[in-house]
Structure 1
Amino acid sequence: MPASDLRPFPSPPREPAGPPAVRPDGTARRPVREALRYAAPALVAYAGVRVLGLLVLALWSTGADTSARRLLSARWDSVWYARIAEDGYGHVARAANGDLHPDLAFFPLLPVLERGLSTLVPVSAGDAGLVVSAVASLCAAAGLFAIGELLYGRRAGVTLVVLWAALPVGVVQSMAYSESLFTALAAWTLYAVLTGRWVWAGTLAALSGLTRPVGAAVVAAVWIAAAERAHRDRWLPPRVLAGALLAPLGWLAYVGWVGARTGDPLGYLDVQDQWGNGFDGGLAFAAFVWRHLTGSVVAGVALLAGVALVIRLYVLCVRQRQPPPLLAYAGVIVLLALCAKGYFGSKPRLLLPAFPLLLPIAVALARVRAARAAAVLAVAALGSAVYGAVWLHGSGPP
């Protein structure tokens, strides 16, 4: 990607002192209906990519001894979420090697929503999870568009949404998993921070902290933004302080509840350790890559190329001078994904919410001719659909 295609993003403008009649970027605030019409191309494109993925998955499933619905809602982590929704916490599974896997590792917001929806309408918890993910993924797409449009214009916003939908592991966005819900909450938290809606930012960050352990990345983004504001203005307005104080409450509440339930303030770390997870600075992942390099060289080189790509994209984000909250959010996600132990096949899925990494590509594609950009995105969407079908019929995204 030529360096000339990487102009810096503008820094978020100052927040108005009084109730703003315009957005901080100087454009008039749009009513909800008009905002939806403005975002419609992004949402329609997103839905098209995901529908393509589901159609390919369904066709692939006709030749296998399973169904697309089962793959999306009744395997891997989706089973754990559904069980929590139906029976609450307390289940412990014993792995083949004797390790115990308690369900306390799973954060509660998705199971709560599954339980609420399955209570209102006659659907199973797993099917309710599919509905929650479908709605949440559209909300995430809208949030990505809002950020892309705010920072670099409408076309970049649409392109960012399509790139996120067409990621190789984009099928996870349509599963009864928590990635779509988390990404939606994270995206709108970041948008709220960038546009000076601090109480909204803190509230959404708190909800993200009830969704996934990596909710800490969203908290970091809010705190970085608040610190930047305090440094710039030499004081912290009450609404900024309120947002910063609200942000970690969800994450702290669940981790604290697990600590009380296990009788150990650090009980959640013990739970992660029972699952073989934990932060070791990347030593286990490095050993995993080395084993592949000394065994199957092709697989090892592919792993190294993937890690190099992620790091390269983050460097490009820094060179673009993305706002510090976005850099903090993406940086924490990358750090936790690459430097944690656990099942290494999950790392692409764990990186799924790190959408700021796609902004350099979105900006570059937004500058080329529309036909060429559309061709690139179409190929990516088709590749994502095929890969998703093969992946779910194989190792899948535990």
Structure 2
Amino acid sequence: MPHRQSEACAQEESNEVLQFLLGKTNSIKSDDTSSVASTSSSLSPSLAESDEAFRYGAIEDHFTKDRKGWMLQDMPELDPVSEDENVSSLIMESDDIPTRKANQAPPMKSSRHTKAGADQSQSQPEDEDASPRETSKQLKKTKKSSVPTAYKSPRKTNTSGIPKSSRVATPTELFVVAAVLFGLVWYCLAIMYRFFYPIHLALPDHEGLYTPWDLSNVSLQITSPRDGSEALGSISLEWEISFFPAEAIRTYGPEPFQYRLFHNDRRLLSEMDFWLLEDIGDKPVDYLNKTLRHRLAQSKLEEPGTHEFRVEVTFPVPGSIDEIRTLKDTITVIKRPPISSVPTLEVTSPLDGATFPPNGNVLVEYNVKNVHHLLLKLDRKYTIEKHHINDGNIFLRKLGAGEHTIELQAFDTDNVLALTRTLHFHVASSS
């Protein structure tokens, strides 16, 4: 009897444990309070763990919803397909899970979900303090299983009624392809031809694009001094440029001129000048005339003789690029020394080859100018120097009979021999 009672108690305890494991009861009836407390404490999570699991499940559920919405937005062209009852029930249950109480188990329609729920019931009791982590895991698993089955990619159907492998191009398509190929072939041939035979276009000559101005009437003339004139002192050289077209300055702007002056092929002057619109003014003139002057120092004409002066005027031709025109004019000036500075000597008596009587007295008469003193040589043996030359004579006494020679020399102020005169005469004998 006691043995049967113990077996009944053991059977009852095993049934209680089985019901607890299956989730039908919340506690196990036992006389040992310590075991019950330890069992409940070991099977039920702590309050801190429950709060942490709940927060984790809520965050995971939020990201799961965002991912579901992203998947639905990323596939706008998918057509919804029919769902069976199990899938519809799963979607409805997944939406209702967050609103249920923690002590209620989600209903499972399929055998797979039922088995999973039974295993879960055996592993953890359903009390009021159930962990939200298991609830979020179930929600995540349910949403993952429901999303792929809710939409299916649309199938591409052949609406033309012709098999894809046996489709023939239309004449329009063939014409377009042929035209493109024809154009590409000709384009490649043209490139190859122009590579070996490039195009050479003859550009017009830049000189032909301009029309030089007619300057045939422009002239240059030295107006002072006259050609062949005698220069008595310092002179002023003048030259004139005439008949330069005023319209050329109005059209092309200021005209540059270069003046060069040469004296006996030595350059004395080189300067630039510009003819401006101000030189024309408001007067309706057709040509411009301009006179220029240059004074020569007296030192340039000290040497007596012929002096040559040449003037050159160079300027660009209006309307041309590099055409230059040069005008020239040349004159000759004679420089004579002053009359007062030229020494002169003239012997008036005796005449060359004269004969004198036997007494031997001879009077030599002369005319001199600009002479400092005279030197007389008789028969190249005797010398007479005379500084008082203004009387104009030299008297020679008691010359012997025979031929005699007189050489008269005139010296200037610098004691330089300027002139020489030679005479021959004869003195007769006394027999």
TM-score, normalised to structure 1, is 0.17
Of Structure 1 and Structure 2, which has the larger fraction of its residues in helix? 1
Higher Cα Rg, which structure: 2
Tell me which protein shows more strand as a share of its residues.
2
Tell me: higher relative CO, structure 1 or 2? Use CA pairs within 8 A at least 6 residues apart: 1
TM-score by length of 2: 0.16
